[in-house]
């Protein structure tokens, strides 16, 4: 089995620190949510022993719902999304989707790999954003497994991207696993293999709002464990250099309210940070705290970068759960990733995947409360 090693690692993570079976309260339920192109789309509900609930669907591998308690013990949804599949099938800013084959931007909608130039679909001016015209986001994923074991609930999806789909070389087989643990963590494990040299950069594009969408995220306090960013040109393509954040509105090494300096950043925050890490170790990349609810979200990753985005273009035309109208700065993204335009920036960490190699990374969103 191509992903045997990966699946074994999932099982190890899921069972780590498990308690006797009679103490478990985790569960996985599913229901048919609709269809697309004759393919069945399901919505999975994962619940842990603490009552935390998430929902994921095989349409784009999308995370649609996260219910966590505030300091009073009230459970509410803290991620932007929709009530219906039809809304996800329409136009929206990638709420909760698995973004690929290449998350973020590739400049000029092309790149050179092994002396061959590959042209991509330009869907962001002259650039490619989040995979191109359709990306992985508008595709139906296979449902590989769904189960509850120990104090964790697990769902695994997979998708095969054809050679030259959206212009990317090689048939890429990817797999994404969501694990809801008894420690109120959402673990997202990614794996991919290819039959030809290609580039790959996968992430989850959730928009978080720890007030449960009662307010904007401007009063959220953010800490980002990074000393530099990859500054961009006017089309948001990195220049190729690193710039220190010290003394700038981009410095979140100590907690700052997101709205405290946002007016000093034209258009709002939409920038990649280089994390303080080496290799593939799992590190704490960011922490978000909402003083009103007491909710805390920590982001851990094995990736070298994280894109901080404040939903700068969201407007009142998007209606989400319970009729909520999403307005500007109503959600924040912390997209764990390799750097934007890495295929055209050899000085950045490589995103090239070759036959016989395996792309893998882990992201963890851990929720808690502060009294």
φ/ψ (deg, to 5) at 323: 75, 15
Q: Give the CA diameter of the chain.
A: 59
């007016």: which residue's tokens? Answer: 263
6 alpha-carbon distance from chain centroid: 19
Q: Give catalytic residue positions.
A: 205, 335
What does the alpha-carbon distance between residue 365 and residue 287 come to, in Å, rounded to a whole number? 10
Contact between residue 175 and residue 156 where contact means Cβ atoms under 8 Å apart: yes
Distance CA(258)–CA(309), nearest Å, equals 11
């Amino acid at each position: 089995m191509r992903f045997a090693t990966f699946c074994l690692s999932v099982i190890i993570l899921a069972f780590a620190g498990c308690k006797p079976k009679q103490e478990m309260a985790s569960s996985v339920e599913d229901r048919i949510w609709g269809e697309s192109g004759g393919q069945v789309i399901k919505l999975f509900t994962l619940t842990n022993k603490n009552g935390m609930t998430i929902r994921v669907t095989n349409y784009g591998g999308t995370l649609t719902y996260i219910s966590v308690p505030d300091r009073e013990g009230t459970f509410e949804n803290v991620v932007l999304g929709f009530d219906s599949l039809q809304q996800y099938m329409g136009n929206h800013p990638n709420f909760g989707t698995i973004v690929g084959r290449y998350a973020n931007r590739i400049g000029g909608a092309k790149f050179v790999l092994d002396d061959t130039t590959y042209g991509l679909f330009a869907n962001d001016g002259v650039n490619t954003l989040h995979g191109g015209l359709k990306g992985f986001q508008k595709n139906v994923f296979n449902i590989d497994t769904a189960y509850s074991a120990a104090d964790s609930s697990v769902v695994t999806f997979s998708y095969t991207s054809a050679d030259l789909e959206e212009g990317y070389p090689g048939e890429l087989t990817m797999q994404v696993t969501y694990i809801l643990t008894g420690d109120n963590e959402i673990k997202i494990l990614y794996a991919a293999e290819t039959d030809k040299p290609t580039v790959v950069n996968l992430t989850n594009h959730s928009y978080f709002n720890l007030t449960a969408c009662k307010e904007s995220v401007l009063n959220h306090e953010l800490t980002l464990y990074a000393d530099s960013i990859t500054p961009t040109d006017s089309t948001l393509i990195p220049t190729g250099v690193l710039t220190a954040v010290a003394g700038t509105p981009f410095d979140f090494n100590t907690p700052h309210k997101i709205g405290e300096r946002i007016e000093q950043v034209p258009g709002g925050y939409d920038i990649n940070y280089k994390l303080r890490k080496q290799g593939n170790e799992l590190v704490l990349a960011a922490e978000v705290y909402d003083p009103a609810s007491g909710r805390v979200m920590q982001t851990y990753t094995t990736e070298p970068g994280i894109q901080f985005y404040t939903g700068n273009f969201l407007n009142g035309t998007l209606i989400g759960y319970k009729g909520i109208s999403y307005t500007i700065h109503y959600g924040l993204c912390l997209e764990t990733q390799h750097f934007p335009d890495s295929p055209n920036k050899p000085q950045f960490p490589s995103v090239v995947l070759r036959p016989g190699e395996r792309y893998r990374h882990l992201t963890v969103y851990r929720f808690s409360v502060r009294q």
